[in-house]
């Protein structure tokens, strides 16, 4: 990679960074924070969520700053009217279709950008059932913002396990496993890295989930550890939802 530096301005601040640097990283160097969602320190940028968009003087449309490299002489605006409107709309669309109750960063951004999710009231909402098929974590895709971070860490970014995949198209697109198999029947090694990178409550440790359901700590241990031992390969114990989550099946 060339060591040559590139000069640009971001919100009027002149900065010089190595060629190949993303606008997002250049902004950080200039002390300017741009919101991100699909990108994280643990994953590679992929330009999916568009929350990080910025305006580049003279270019049509907005650019996703996580995947757009700096160029000599460009003038970047990270908080123009157009940028703010775009971020606000993305947040409104997310909040109107997905349960963001356990996504504090996004909730903060909704306030910061004065997003009004009720503008999209009446639209279809994602409400799949919680998937509780193993002793280690649950998957509540009603809270999934499709950032793909879990898929990336499970694949070549970290774990090289490739247990997760995408399914469906358009509004029905979702995160799943290969052939939609239950997690114990996939290559998953239950490392928990996907849970760690999830920016919402879509992936949650089973113990945390059970405690939230009011299950006594001793019973939580029973479900996740003692009964779970040796059963992780075939549908471990899980809560029986039909009985309101109070009965434990094994
Ligand atoms: S817990 Fe399973 S699905 Fe999640 S990253 Fe690890 S191997 Fe992949
Ligand atoms: S489950 Fe979490 S990490 Fe995976 S795509 Fe959905 S929100 Fe992102
Ligand atoms: S963080 Fe850049 S597109 Fe999602």
Q: What pLDDT, in 10s, does the model give residues 115-138?
A: 999 998 888 898 999 999 998 999
The answer, yes or no, to whether residue 249 has pLDDT greater than 50, is no
DSSP letters of 88-126?
HHHHHHHHHHS--TT-HHHHHHHHHTT--GGGGTTS---
Averaged over 95-110, what is the pLDDT? 96
Residues 32 and 116 in one domain: no
Please tell me the least confidently modeled range out of 92-106, 206-220, 233-247: 233-247
Residue 95 lies in a domain: yes
The count of structural domains within the chain is: 3
Residue 35 lies in a domain: yes
- Prediction pTM value: 0.87
Question: Residue 3 has what pLDDT?
Answer: 65
Averaged over 219-234, what is the pLDDT? 65
Residues 170 and 229 in one domain: yes
Residues 13 and 59 in one domain: yes
Question: Residue 235 has what pLDDT?
Answer: 43
What is the band of 171 on the pLDDT scale with cuts at 50, 70, 90? Answer: confident
- Which residues have CB under 6 Å of ligand 2? 144-150, 175, 197-200, 202-203
Partnered with residue 138 across adjacent β-strands are 204
Residues 72 and 90 in one domain: no
d(CA 9, CA 26): 10
Residue 229 lies in a domain: yes
Residues 143 and 226 in one domain: yes
What is the band of 107 on the pLDDT scale with cuts at 50, 70, 90? Answer: very high
Question: Residue 247 has what pLDDT?
Answer: 32
Residues 150 and 74 in one domain: no
Question: Residue 55 has what pLDDT?
Answer: 98
Domain assignment of residue 152, given as a range: 137-239
Ligand 3 binding pocket includes 38 (Cβ within 6 Å):
yes
- Residue 149 Cα to ligand 2 midpoint, Å, equals 6
- Residue 54 tokens read as 């910025």
Residues 173 and 186 in one domain: yes
d(CA 89, CA 38): 16
């Amino acid at each position: 990679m060339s060591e040559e530096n590139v000069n640009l301005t971001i919100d009027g601040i002149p900065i010089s960074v190595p060629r190949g640097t993303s606008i997002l990283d250049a902004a950080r160097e200039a002390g300017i924070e741009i919101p991100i969602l699909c990108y994280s320190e643990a994953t590679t940028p992929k330009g999916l969520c568009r929350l990080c968009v910025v305006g580049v003087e003279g270019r049509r449309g907005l650019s996703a700053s996580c995947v757009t490299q700096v160029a000599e002489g460009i003038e970047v605006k990270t908080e123009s009217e157009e940028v703010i409107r775009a971020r606000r709309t993305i947040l409104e669309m997310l909040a109107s279709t997905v349960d963001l109750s356990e996504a504090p960063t996004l909730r903060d951004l909704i306030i910061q950008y004065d997003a009004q999710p009720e503008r999209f009231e009446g639209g279809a909402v994602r409400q799949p059932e919680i998937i509780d098929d193993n002793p280690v974590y649950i998957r509540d895709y009603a809270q999934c913002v499709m950032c793909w971070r879990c898929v990336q860490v499970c694949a070549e970014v970290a774990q090289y396990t490739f247990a997760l995949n995408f399914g469906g198209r358009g509004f029905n697109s979702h995160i799943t496993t290969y052939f939609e198999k239950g997690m114990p029947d996939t290559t998953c090694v239950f490392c928990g890295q996907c849970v760690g990178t999830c920016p919402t409550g879509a992936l949650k440790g089973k113990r945390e989930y059970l405690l939230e359901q009011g299950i006594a700590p001793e019973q939580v241990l029973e479900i996740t550890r003692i009964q779970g031992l040796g059963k992780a390969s075939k549908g471990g114990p899980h809560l029986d939802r039909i009985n309101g989550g109070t009965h434990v099946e094994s």
